[in-house]
Amino acid sequence: MEKRAILFDMDGVLFDSMPGHARCWEEVCQDVGLDLTASEAYFHEGRTAKGTIDLLARRCWGREATTEEVERIYAAKCKLFNSLPPAPKMPGAEAVLYEAKRAGLIITLVTGSGQQSLLERLNQAYPNCFVRERMVTSDDVQHGKPNPEPYLMGLQKSGVTAEEALVVENAPLGVQAAVAAGIFTIAVNTGPLPEKALFDAGASLVFPSMQALAEAFAEIVSKK
Ligand code: MG
């Protein structure tokens, strides 16, 4: 089956933003008595903010968080994250996008993030790669990763079947979501987790970096 589209996760794939996100999650959660460390935050990557906060509230407070609490904690997290210097582009991401375009693949974004300035930021960093019609954000879905919904919607927006698509993900829950959607999933291990976490989640291939994926990309696409 020839591949026609490639679906990219954003944080930890296109931007080296996970260290900042993890640090901010740790700080705002500790402030409200939710026990989360930056290292644990990497395991929750891909969930919506509500998903993460509810899980921690059940664990630490013995109850779900209220809508007001979710909004307040997520607003504090976003404010803190936005006060940090902008996350750099992920080394190698530009080369992967270039190869994807050269192979004639449709390029789609599937992120659990809800940042308003996303498209602007993406266009600045990676001109002529992403369009609003082919972006799935936390605002578009009922269920975040690891639910397959974001990736199923990504397929729909790309106009392709699961067999015609590839996914690039860095987070175990993101890999689970893509695999549950039936898509061939390439993981890039750009964070501190063991490679095994990505294979266990169902990734077909795991690369240590986006640069390593870029080097192998032409061959992967020609074989698929
Ligand atoms: Mg990610």
> What pLDDT does 113 receive?
83
- At 23, phi and psi to the nearest 5? -60, -45
pLDDT of 155: 98
The pLDDT value recorded for residue 180 is 98
pLDDT tens digits for range 18-29? 999 999 999 999
- Main-chain phi, psi angles of 214, to 5 degrees: -55, -40
- 143: helix, coil or strand? coil
Burial (CB < 10 A; 0-12, 13-18, 19+), residue 114, is middle
Say how many Å lie between the CA of residue 114 and the centre of ligand 1: 13
Per-residue tens of pLDDT for the chain, all 224 residues: 689 999 999 999 999 999 999 999 999 999 999 999 999 999 999 888 899 999 999 999 999 999 999 999 999 999 999 999 989 999 999 999 999 999 999 999 999 887 767 778 899 999 999 999 999 998 899 898 999 999 999 999 999 999 999 999 999 999 999 999 999 999 999 999 999 999 999 999 999 999 999 999 988 887 75
> How far is the centre of ligand 1, averaged over its atoms, from the C-alpha of 147 (Å)?
14
Residue 135 Cα to ligand 1 middle (Å): 14
What amino acid occupies position 144? G
**If you measure from the C-alpha of residue 108 to the centroid of ligand 1, how many angstroms do you get, rounded to a whole number?**
14
Measured in Å, residue 164 CA sits from the centre of ligand 1 at: 22
Instruction: Quick: pLDDT tens for 77-123.
Output: 999 999 999 899 999 999 999 999 999 999 999 998 877 677 788 99
pLDDT of residue 223: 72
Q: Which residue has the tokens 């690369």?
A: 207
pLDDT given at position 48: 85
Residue 222: per-residue pLDDT = 79
Ligand 1 mean position to 150 CA, how many Å?
13
Number of residues written out for the chain? 224
For residue 87, the 8-state DSSP code is P
Ligand 1 centre distance from Cα of residue 88 (Å): 14
The CA distance from 200 to 204, in Å, is 10
